[in-house]
């Protein structure tokens, strides 16, 4: 109390040259790389009339834009408003939550367009982008927003930009291994987005462990109105999650089915979250932390299987379980991780993304392994798992095995990548605040 308030400012948090330098350097790099590589896909190019003739399309409505643009906008809202506002629960870190999320996501989507483009949309030396690329870029950045949740309030914007650069890169590599090498299905990203993003972030925060963080403990809580701002984030994530899980599924029944499964899982998840939030508290009162977060676990956990024939009641079961797992995690696991394993997880992403992501990977593997031609129909079966070309002879149980392998690969990539990035961020040159100034907007913002 006697100490000057910003004594920790001895740690140099002065951003005036470092932050502009990084922002400008990277944006110039983006312009150069976009100039060399990025062009419009045929459906967004002015040559579309010729394309239409070639592909025998009779109407503009066949343009992929009309299949995916509404879902894209919903996903866009989830990344910027959903994640941004979900993290405003801290009483004095609302600017950092919304503002830094905005910054890292705006940078990340550009880099993701390039990274994912090189792997998936590269033709004759150019990356050809359309609405599906925009969705995938948002997805990729989603994993960085998740990791941000673990280190919220403890890092400088420069560190966040570094984290995003590396994480997007590794995301694209991991995604390539899963989707192209292992031929795994993961349209809603239980493995590629949530499992990878969360364990990456948890590894980073472990390495950045701050032994004296209790010095800013009073700021690590919420106030009444900050909890309401956070509920804006929660609800937009919850409502639009059916769009998230269906956004890049195949046209037609797969998109339709993914939305329904996700809707069901999320509905069930709310009920068990409320039940356990009340049950695990001595006074039986509800805790906003659980309502804000654990209600979303059901969306994470059907990320792989939503486009499969999981069925509505299967989705309810997954949501039921995840509401419980996630709420129990907030009550018992988060304190344990902090005190014993030195994992300081500001937003509890372990409960919202890591565990439900793992469950989602497993549910996906089981659902794939259990697939039959009877349930999917002959054509539907081949279409759902893309059992064509080199994969013509793959059986459901083998697919299930590869799905499981995808979980393991995602975990390994997360641990290795998180360790590397954590080590880089630990260098004392990036301008993070001292422990007693964490969770405090006025370190980096004019307040």
Q: In degrees, to the nearest 5, what angle opens at C-alpha 172 toward C-alphas 170 and 173?
A: 65
Q: CA-CA distance, 149 to 348, in Å (whole number)?
A: 7
| 328-367: contacts with its own copies (CB under 8 A) | none
Please state the closest distance from residue 76 (CB atom) to its own copies, in A.
5
| 22-61: contacts with its own copies (CB under 8 A) | 23-24, 26-28, 30-31, 34-35, 38-40, 43-50, 52, 59-61
Work out which of 275, 328, 398, 419 binds its own copies, going by CB under 8 A.
275
Please state the closest distance from residue 435 (CB atom) to its own copies, in A.
20
Question: Residues near 324 by Cβ (< 8 Å), separated by ≥ 6?
Answer: 272, 273, 275, 276
| 374-433: contacts with its own copies (CB under 8 A) | 375-377, 379-381, 383-384
Asked if residue 296 lies in contact with residue 269, where contact means CB atoms within 8 angstroms, the answer is: yes
Is the CB of 20 or the CB of 335 nearer to its own copies?
20
Which strands, in side-by-side order, build the sheet including 38-40?
38-40, 126-129, 122-123
Q: CA-CA distance, 133 to 201, in Å (whole number)?
A: 24
Considering only the stretches 281-289, 345-353, 355-363, 412-420, report the one whose residues sit in contact with its own copies under the rule CB under 8 A. Answer: 281-289
| 186-215: contacts with its own copies (CB under 8 A) | none
Is the CB of 199 or the CB of 263 nearer to its own copies?
263
Work out which of 11, 63, 191, 368 binds its own copies, going by CB under 8 A.
63
Work out which of 143, 195, 205, 272 binds its own copies, going by CB under 8 A.
272
| 125-154: contacts with its own copies (CB under 8 A) | 129-131, 134
Of 200, 198, 167, 155, nearest to 427 by C-alpha is 155
Question: Residues near 306 by Cβ (< 8 Å), separated by ≥ 6?
Answer: 187, 188, 245, 246, 249, 257, 258, 259, 261, 262, 265, 315
Query: For residue 262, how many other CB atoms are within 10 A of its CB?
Result: 30
69 binds its own copies (CB under 8 A): yes
Work out which of 5, 7, 20, 217 binds its own copies, going by CB under 8 A.
20
Beta bridge partners of 122: 127
The string of DSSP letters for 86-104 reads HGGGBTT-HHHHHHHHHHH
70 binds its own copies (CB under 8 A): yes
| 227-246: contacts with its own copies (CB under 8 A) | 227-229, 231-232, 235-236, 238-240, 242-243
Work out which of 6, 176, 287, 415 binds its own copies, going by CB under 8 A.
287
The maximal CA–CA distance of the chain, rounded, in angstroms, is 77
Please state the closest distance from residue 222 (CB atom) to its own copies, in A.
10
Q: Quote the crossing angle between the two packed helices 18-37 and 157-176, to the nearest 10°.
A: 30
Work out which of 152, 163, 182, 266 binds its own copies, going by CB under 8 A.
266
221 binds its own copies (CB under 8 A): no
Considering only the stretches 189-197, 263-271, 407-415, 416-424, report the one whose residues sit in contact with its own copies under the rule CB under 8 A. Answer: 263-271
Of 188, 92, 207, 90, nearest to 147 by C-alpha is 207
Is the CB of 71 or the CB of 304 nearer to its own copies?
71
| 97-126: contacts with its own copies (CB under 8 A) | 98-99, 102-103, 106-107, 109-110, 113
Is the CB of 232 or the CB of 405 nearer to its own copies?
232
Query: For residue 231, how many other CB atoms are within 10 A of its CB?
Result: 18
Work out which of 2, 390, 427, 446 binds its own copies, going by CB under 8 A.
446
């Amino acid at each position: 109390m006697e100490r000057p308030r910003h004594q920790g400012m001895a740690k140099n948090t002065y951003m005036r040259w470092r932050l502009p330098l990084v922002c400008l350097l990277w944006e110039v790099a983006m312009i150069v790389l976009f100039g060399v590589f990025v062009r419009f896909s045929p459906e967004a190019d002015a040559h579309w009339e010729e394309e239409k003739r070639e592909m025998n399309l009779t109407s503009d409505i066949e343009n992929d834009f009309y299949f995916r643009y509404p879902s894209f906008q919903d996903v866009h809202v989830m990344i910027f408003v959903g994640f941004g506002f979900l993290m405003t629960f801290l009483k004095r870190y609302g600017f950092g939550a919304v503002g830094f999320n905005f910054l890292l996501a705006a940078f990340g989507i550009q880099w993701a367009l390039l990274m994912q483009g090189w792997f998936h949309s590269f033709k004759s030396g150019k990356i050809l982008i359309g609405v599906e690329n925009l969705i995938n870029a948002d997805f990729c950045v989603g994993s960085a927003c998740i990791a941000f949740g673990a280190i919220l309030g403890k890092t400088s914007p420069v560190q966040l930009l570094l984290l995003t650069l590396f994480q997007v890169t590794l995301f694209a590599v991991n995604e390539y291994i899963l989707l192209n090498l292992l031929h795994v299905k993961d349209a809603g990203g239980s493995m590629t987005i949530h499992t990878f993003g969360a364990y990456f972030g948890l590894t980073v925060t472990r390495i950045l462990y701050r032994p004296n963080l209790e010095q800013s403990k009073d700021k690590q809580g919420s106030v009444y109105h900050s909890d309401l701002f956070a509920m804006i984030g929660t609800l937009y994530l919850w409502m639009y999650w059916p769009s998230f899980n269906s956004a890049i599924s195949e046209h037609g029944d797969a998109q339709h089915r993914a939305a329904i499964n996700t809707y069901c899982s999320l509905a069930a998840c709310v009920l068990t979250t409320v039940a356990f939030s009340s049950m695990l508290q001595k006074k039986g009162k509800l805790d906003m932390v659980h309502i804000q977060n654990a209600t979303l676990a059901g969306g994470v956990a059907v990320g792989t299987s939503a486009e499969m024939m999981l069925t509505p009641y299967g989705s309810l079961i997954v949501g039921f379980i995840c509401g419980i797992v996630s709420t129990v995690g907030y009550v018992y696991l988060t304190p344990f991780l902090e005190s014993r394993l030195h994992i300081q997880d500001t937003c509890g992403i372990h409960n919202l993304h890591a565990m439900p992501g793992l469950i989602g990977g497993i549910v996906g593997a089981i659902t794939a392994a259990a697939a039959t031609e009877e349930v999917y129909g002959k054509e539907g079966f081949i279409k759902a798992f893309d059992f064509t070309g080199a994969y013509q002879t793959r059986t459901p149980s083998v697919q299930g095995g590869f799905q499981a392998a995808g979980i393991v690969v995602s975990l390994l990539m997360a641990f290795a990548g998180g360790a590397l990035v954590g080590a880089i961020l630990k260098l004392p040159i990036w301008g993070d605040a001292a422990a007693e100034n964490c969770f405090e907007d006025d370190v980096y913002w004019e307040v």
